[in-house]
């Protein structure tokens, strides 16, 4: 095993009761698991605890207690001990007191997850979707746990009434309606848009929380090594992991970037891709204000261009299916109560957004790879990592496989901390092939 797998030193794990009393449970925690998911609005964690006394009854734990974590690992400090990042108890399970000790699993979640259950979006929202996202985070979730660079600006606006929906539900609902600023501004007229009059590119955003806070990011931005919204990432700052078989030398620092195990969880599914209209689809759009019907023809090969993870010149589409419509969508606008008389481009219904987002989401999630690596607390969901696998020839490894190797986006992450083993499990996704 590598040094990063073996190094584990909890500085402090403290649980604070509702009355404000803090209890140090560092020596009682057997393991810590921390989770992030790009499809979830909140981070979570679990603690496996063993005590010679009943922690649940004596503290007592009734839900809502704060838990502060500070752990030293081989890849750096893992700290969730300030008021922004501190996690809260929402459940205790698996309580077992048979062997003169109480064993239990304490489930943790971020504070905003609990606030989401007691808040509703009831008013009318207007303006750019990215502005609405910031408003909901501040006013409804009462949080400033985000940076402007992580709330990517959208090119389109959307006017809607919250209808008493929960904040997380509303934010996730806005994701497929959003178009990246990098795709270009929409046609200013908005009313007589045709397939040539719309911004080129792809729709689709993701709202999620990682260790840095909340993110509202376009798929175009996530898969771009140049990071469209802030131009911070490049090949030099992307971690590279390689799979060469068993890791034997524990003191070799290079082993910290070895893949311990991997499983291909999902690959191309042509039948599903056709059913979802990934390669080509058609939208019939009825404008309730002007009573006009517009038709939008979407072809993935013409829209995605270089906004993908692979290095191939274009997305591979089976011959005969590149412009053959495999899905037909029928939509109506929400002009009238949402827009001034005459209608505006900010009515929120771009005839292409759903066509684009359906195709883009399905393409991004078309490939899934699960890997186990030595613990690296610098990784988070939404990051790009580079994976290298050896190609097989006559049962032996020869050179890097340029097809299976390449850039992947971290979709799910789990840090496991324990005295025996510290690892990071990643579920990766990508939309195309090619490394070189």
- SS3 sequence, 352-385? CHHHHHHHHHHHHCCEEEEEEEECCCCCCCCCEE
Long-range contacts of the stretch 322-325 (C-beta < 8 A, 24+): 322/279, 322/280, 323/280, 323/299, 324/279, 324/280, 325/277, 325/280, 325/281, 325/282, 325/297
pLDDT value, residue 195: 37
**Residue 330 bridge partners (DSSP):** 284
pLDDT value, residue 394: 55
**Which parts of the chain register pLDDT below 70?**
1-7, 99, 182-202, 225-236, 246-253, 305-307, 310-314, 334-355, 392-398, 434-436
Cβ contact 297:253 at 8 Å = no
pLDDT value, residue 197: 41
Question: CB count, 10 Å around CB of 298?
Answer: 25
pTM: 0.86
Q: Which of 158, 162, 143 is nearest to 214 (CA)?
A: 143
Q: Which of 258, 239, 171, 154 is nearest to 207 (CA)?
A: 171
pLDDT value, residue 189: 37
pLDDT value, residue 185: 45
Long-range contacts of the stretch 130-134 (C-beta < 8 A, 24+): 130/154, 130/178, 130/216, 132/158, 132/174, 133/171, 133/174, 133/207, 133/216
pLDDT value, residue 115: 96
- H/E stretch holding 14 reads strand 8-16
């Amino acid at each position: 095993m590598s040094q990063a797998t073996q190094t584990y030193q909890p500085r402090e794990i403290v649980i604070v009761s509702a009355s404000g009393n803090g209890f140090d449970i560092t020596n009682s925690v057997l393991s810590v698991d921390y989770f992030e998911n790009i499809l979830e609005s909140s981070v979570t964690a679990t603690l496996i605890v063993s005590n010679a006394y009943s922690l649940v009854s004596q503290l007592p734990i009734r839900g809502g207690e704060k838990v502060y974590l500070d752990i030293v690992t081989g890849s750096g400090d893992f700290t969730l001990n300030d008021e922004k990042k501190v996690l809260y108890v929402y459940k205790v399970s698996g309580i077992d007191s048979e062997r003169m000790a109480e064993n239990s699993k304490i489930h943790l979640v971020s504070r905003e997850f609990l606030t989401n259950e007691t808040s509703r979006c009831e008013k009318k929202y207007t303006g750019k979707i990215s502005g609405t996202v910031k408003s909901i985070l501040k006013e409804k979730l009462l949080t400033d746990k985000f940076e402007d660079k992580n709330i990517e600006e959208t090119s389109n606006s959307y006017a809607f009434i919250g209808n008493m929906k929960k904040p997380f539900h509303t934010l996730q609902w806005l994701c497929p309606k959003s178009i990246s600023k990098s795709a270009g501004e929409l046609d200013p007229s908005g009313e007589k848009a045709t397939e040539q009059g719309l911004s080129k590119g792809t729709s689709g955003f993701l709202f999620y929380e990682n260790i840095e806070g909340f993110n509202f990011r376009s798929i175009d931005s996530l898969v771009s090594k140049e990071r469209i919204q802030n131009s911070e990432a490049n090949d030099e700052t992307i971690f590279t992991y390689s799979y060469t078989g068993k890791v034997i030398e524990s003191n070799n620092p290079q082993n910290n970037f070895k893949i311990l195990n991997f499983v291909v969880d999902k690959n191309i599914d042509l039948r599903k891709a056709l059913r979802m209209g990934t390669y080509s689809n058609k939208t019939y759009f009825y404008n309730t204000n002007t009573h006009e019907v517009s038709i939008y023809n979407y072809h993935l090969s013409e829209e995605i261009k270089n906004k993908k993870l692979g290095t191939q010149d274009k997305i591979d589409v089976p011959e005969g299916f590149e412009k053959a419509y495999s899905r037909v969508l029928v939509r109506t606008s929400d002009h009238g109560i949402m827009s001034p008389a005459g209608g505006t481009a900010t009515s929120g219904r771009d005839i292409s957004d759903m066509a684009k987002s359906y195709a883009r989401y399905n393409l991004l999630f078309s490939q899934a790879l699960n890997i186990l690596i030595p613990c690296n607390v610098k990784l988070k969901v939404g990051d790009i990592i580079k994976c290298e696998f050896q190609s097989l020839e006559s049962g032996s490894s020869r050179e890097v496989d340029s097809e299976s190797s390449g850039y992947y986006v971290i979709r799910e992450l789990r840090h496991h901390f324990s005295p025996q083993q510290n690892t990071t499990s990643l579920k990766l996704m990508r939309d195309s092939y090619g490394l070189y």
